[in-house]
Amino acid sequence: MAPNKYRAEYSTLFGFHERNVTICSYVPKQKKAVILHSTMHLDSAVHDDEKKKPHMITDYNKYKTGVGAMDQMVGRYITHRRTQRWPLAVRVNILDVAALAACIIYYGNNNMLKKHTNQRRVFLRQLSEELCKPLIEDRSLNNQVMRHHSTKNAIEDILGVHLGADPDVERNVEPRDSTGRVKVTGSCHLCYRSVIKRRRKTRKRCEQCGKPVCDEHSPNKNILL
């Protein structure tokens, strides 16, 4: 099967396996060999012309342009990122090919739509939004997620609806920052009244007067989180 200077020009060697796999080695010129294997061609058929090319090679040359064009189109808008995990690489490649096929089928079935240079980009954007929308709607029902003001605004912009007041405000819950802790309420009013004035930030308030108080001046050592 390997290149060999003793093999005749335009000659072909075939190898067959019981699991419907065929391999061929074709010599286009001396000391050269083209080796292919196929699961579609199960015989040793060659053409009757001067070069006597196997059907396996001519079929490959016939359809390889479509594969190259598909790779070129997929490469323009890709979803994968650099990774060393081959299952992830395979999955994102399947996603890219499926998105391209969906775009071709959609515009093929809707010939009345005007052709634009950015039509594929617009289609992929709409497709991604439609795929993400059910997940975003599920997250909009999660109070833990909706506590973050920026996340709530982003979900409202995507869904195009107003989701109501902050669930923490409705349930009279202490407002929290992005880390999940109770926001700083201010400086301890007792530390500021002492001889050495200090602005000690605190997350606690006095239960009686509602003024900020630090751990040192609070009888309750439990910090609200």
Average pLDDT over residues 67-76: 89
For the whole model, what pTM was predicted? Answer: 0.51
Domain locations in the chain as residue ranges: 12-68, 77-127, 141-170, 174-225
For 202, residues 6+ apart whose C-beta sits below 8 A from its C-beta are: 184, 185, 186, 187, 188, 212, 213, 214, 215
pLDDT exceeds cutoff 90 at 99: yes
pLDDT at 220: 60
Looking at residue 26, its pLDDT comes to 93
Q: What pLDDT digit, counting tens, does each position of 106-151 carry? A: 989 988 888 888 889 999 999 998 988 999 888 888 888 887 878 8
| 96 vs 150, more confident | 96
Indicate the pLDDT class of residue 223, thresholds 50, 70 and 90: very low
Instruction: State both tokens at 89.
Output: 């690489």
Render pLDDT for 155-205 as a digit per residue (tens, 0 to 9). 888 888 877 655 444 445 556 666 556 666 678 878 877 767 777 777 777
pLDDT at residue 180, rounded to an integer: 59
Q: Which of 78, 82, 103 is nearest to 93 (CA)?
A: 78
As a whole number, mean pLDDT of residues 93-118 equals: 90
What gap in Å lies between CA 44 and CA 52, rounded to an integer? 11
Q: Which residues are within 8 A (CB) of 201 and not within 5 positions of it... i.e. 6 or more apart? A: 184, 186, 187
Measure the CA–CA gap between 75 and 82, rounded to whole angstroms: 14
- The Cα 175–Cα 210 span in angstroms is 15
Q: Is the pLDDT of residue 224 over 50?
A: no
Please report the pLDDT score of residue 221 as a whole number.
47
**pLDDT value, residue 25:** 93
pLDDT at res. 225: 42
